[in-house]
Amino acid sequence: MNCGEFEKVASLYLDGEFDASERAEVNEHLAHCDDCRAMVDSEHRFRQTLRDKLKPVTAPGYLRQRIVSQIDELDQRAESRLRWSVWAEWVGAASVLVAAAVVVVVVWPNTDSLVPLNRTVDSTPSEVVANTVPSLSMSRPALFDGSAVMPASYSVSESFKPSNVGTAGTRALASYQRLPADVRGNGRMVRRYMQSRLSFPVELPLSESQRVQLIGARQVNVDGGAAALFIYKVDGERVSVLQQSARNVRHIPLRLQRRGTITVGEFGRQGVHNTVVSELDTVTLSSVLTRRTARP
Amino acid sequence: MIIGKTKTGREKDDFHREALVHLDALYNGALYMTRDPRKAEDLVQDTMLKAFRFFHRYQRGTNCKAWLFRIMTNTHINNNRGKRRNMTYLENVDVEPAVGTPLSDRNVFYKNPEQGYLHHLVHDKVREAVESLPLDYRTIVVLADLQDFAYKEIAEIVECPIGTVMSRLHRGRKLLQKRLRAHAIEQGILPPTAANVEDEPTSLEAYRQRKESGSE
């Protein structure tokens, strides 16, 4: 090999593309040629300096955290895809009723804000609801009626036809549950983020503890208003809480009801209404909710 | 009751071990591709989630880092498809088309007759020079010189023939060299006359400086 030949293949050599025998041939030439050796040295130095100047950075911790938790979520979703479809229907049906109840609370002209939902849905305000949200079908039984009104023949899938459910709120939980969170991280970060985006006093619906882990939250639209959807894991099970503004609400005691394989419920205080859905049983769920739902 | 890990659970462990360890490398690559930390985060996140979803397609034992970079490159191109017109790699008029084989040139890595000028440049200026490269060249220079991929791996990542990789790498390096020298001249590290390398058109800045110093 001579200098002319080497120059033609120098970059292949320098980039480490040569195999052992090709390298040996070049090395032999370099051993005898000061010029080419000086060039190789200079190129090596230049490349090393370039790398020194462009030191790699570490990916931000929150990025890693976000990716890990989204992978967890994807992984879990893959496992429970079958259970989901059944659940989603239940959630959809439940949120139809809950959304209706919320509308009642918001539009009910009563200045006394302690509005017991079980009564309002049954009585006149149902007309108010029907007028306010025309596409909401109000013939359905109230979810939180003390007498557990859902008749045995009550068909979930029938009540969840999209044509029946015009507004966003009616399908909110069912459809939003599958979307990834806007924000993940510790409670303070999540709360700050949601507070910066929503006009009502967002608060974390559950306190974090060893049993209660906040996965994340996202902003959703329900009945034309912005709401917050919080996703938790309680004892390893998913718990979703939809938080909406409800100006007239001062306190709604925690009510939970088992419906098929899921538990649905609501609670609220000081202008904020929460709808909660989970596969956890009522006793477990209420044990982690009680602290937050105590009367102010 | 403790049950054995589910299939997906095992896959997740594998993913952590084989893919997630390359997060930093991906992030660094993404910073050069997007030139924006926020966009880089999004790109890396999209890439990782996509990779997890398609992890069953990854052939165990092959180069996982290269596989991830391939997903990232594709994702980035797809993300910017609509904005192609605004992207720098079409704006750059001072780049010759990447044709011909680099081996026909008297082809040396980075030609630098003046030793050590790079050493005196602050790292921001060096990063700026890399970021100023058109995307096609930038990607390949970063993959080769910062991520240590072999030509063949780069060819698979950017899905083009090895010959194209080599010619883009050659031209990318040449262009980078030119930009670095321009910065060095700007900073007074190299004399203005140093811009006149390889008969290539120099930047307007360098040209004016040269005129001012009366060397032309």
**CATH code where residue B23 lies:** 1.10.1740.10
Q: Is residue A135 part of a domain?
A: no
For residue B178, what is the domain's CATH number? 1.10.10.10
Mean pLDDT of chain B: 77
Residues B127 and B47 in one domain: no
Indicate the range of B53-57, B87-91, B159-163 predicted with least confidence: B87-91
Query: Which tens digit of pLDDT belongs to each residue from B118-145?
Result: 888 888 899 999 999 999 899 999 999 9
Q: Is residue B57 part of a domain?
A: yes
Query: Which tens digit of pLDDT belongs to each residue from B110-125?
Result: 555 555 788 888 888 9
Amino acid at A296: P
Residues B53 and B105 in one domain: no
Residues B56 and B68 in one domain: yes
Look up the domain containing B17 and give its range. 7-84
| Long-range contacts formed by A15-22: CB under 8 A, 24+ apart | A15/B109, A15/B144, A15/B150, A15/B151, A16/B150, A17/B150, A17/B151
Beta bridge partners of A262: A259
Regions of chain A short of the pLDDT cut 70: 78-182, 223-224, 290-296
Residues A94 and A25 in one domain: no
Residues B77 and B111 in one domain: no
Residues B98 and B33 in one domain: no
Compute the average pLDDT of residues B2-13. 61
- Asked which of B37, B68, B84 is the last residue of a domain, the reply is B84
Q: Is residue A114 part of a domain?
A: no
Q: Is residue A139 part of a domain?
A: no
Residues B71 and B94 in one domain: no
Q: Is residue B1 part of a domain?
A: no
Query: Which tens digit of pLDDT belongs to each residue from A28-71?
Result: 999 999 988 988 888 888 888 899 989 899 999 999 999 998 88
Residues B14 and B68 in one domain: yes
Name the residue among A8, A68, A78 with its Cβ closest to that of B103.
A8
DSSP characters for chain A?
A: --HHHHHHHHHHHHTT---HHHHHHHHHHHHH-HHHHHHHHHHHHHHHHHHHHTPPPPPPHHHHHHHHHHHHHHHHHHHTHHHHHHHHHHHHHHHHHHHHHHHHHHH---SS----HHHHHHSTHHHHHHHHSTTB---SPPTT-TT----TT--HHHHT-GGGB-SHHHHHHHHHTTSPPSEESSHHHHHHHHHHH-SS----SS---SSEEEEEEEEEEETTEEEEEEEEEETTEEEEEEEEE-TT-SEEEEEEEEETTEEEEEEEETTEEEEEEESS-HHHHHHHHHHHHS--
Residues A93 and A228 in one domain: yes
Quick one: pLDDT at residue B134?
92
Q: Is residue B2 part of a domain?
A: no
Residues B53 and B96 in one domain: no
Chains A and B: how many Cβ contacts under 8 Å? 112
Q: Is residue A243 part of a domain?
A: yes
- Asked which of B49, B84, B119 is the last residue of a domain, the reply is B84
- Give the integer Cα–Cα distance in Å for A135 and B176: 62
Name the residue among B49, B107, B121 with its Cβ closest to that of A10.
B107
Residues A8 and A96 in one domain: no
Count: domains in chain B:
2
Name the residue among A11, A58, A72 with its Cβ closest to that of B107.
A11
Q: Does A5 touch chain B (CB under 8 A)?
A: no
Give contacts of B49 with chain A, Cβ < 8 Å: 67, 70-71, 74
Residues B140 and B169 in one domain: yes
Asked whether residue B99 carries a pLDDT value surpassing 70, the answer given is: no
- Give the integer Cα–Cα distance in Å for A211 and A286: 13
CB contact under 8 A, A9 and B103: yes
Residues A176 and A232 in one domain: yes
Q: Is residue A263 part of a domain?
A: yes
Residues B49 and B63 in one domain: yes
Backbone angles phi, psi at A116, to 5 degrees: -75, 120
Pick the residue with more confidence: A262 or B208?
A: A262
Quick one: pLDDT at residue B23?
96
Cα distance between the two ends of chain B: 85
Residues B137 and B198 in one domain: yes
Count: domains in chain A:
2
Residues A48 and A186 in one domain: no
Quick one: pLDDT at residue B202?
38
Look up the domain containing A258 and give its range. 63-101+167-293
Give contacts of B166 with chain A, Cβ < 8 Å: 11
What's the gap in Å between the CA of B24 and the closest CA on chain A? Answer: 5
Interface test with B, best of A17, A46, A75 (most B CBs within 10 A): A46
Interface test with B, best of A2, A54, A73, A77 (most B CBs within 10 A): A54
Task: Report the relative pairing of strands A237-245 and A272-278 from DSSP bridges.
Answer: antiparallel
Q: Is residue A182 part of a domain?
A: yes
Quick one: pLDDT at residue B1?
37
Residues B194 and B122 in one domain: yes
Residues A70 and A197 in one domain: yes
Residues A47 and A77 in one domain: no
User: In the sheet where A183-184 sits, what is the strand order?
Assistant: A183-184, A212-222, A225-234, A237-245, A272-278, A262-269, A251-259
Asked whether residue B103 carries a pLDDT value surpassing 70, the answer given is: no
Compute the average pLDDT of residues B141-160. 92
Quick one: pLDDT at residue B61?
83
Query: Which tens digit of pLDDT belongs to each residue from B16-31?
Result: 999 999 999 999 999 9
Of A106, A261, A84, whose CA–CA distance to A173 is shortest?
Answer: A84
- Asked which of B28, B55, B84 is the last residue of a domain, the reply is B84
Quick one: pLDDT at residue A231?
86
Of A63, A295, A39, whose CA–CA distance to B48 is shortest?
Answer: A63
- Give the integer Cα–Cα distance in Å for B170 and B98: 9
Q: Is residue A160 part of a domain?
A: no
CB contact under 8 A, B112 and A56: no
Name the residue among A10, A54, A74 with its Cβ closest to that of B126.
A54
Quick one: pLDDT at residue B154?
95
Residues A213 and A80 in one domain: yes
ipTM of the complex: 0.75
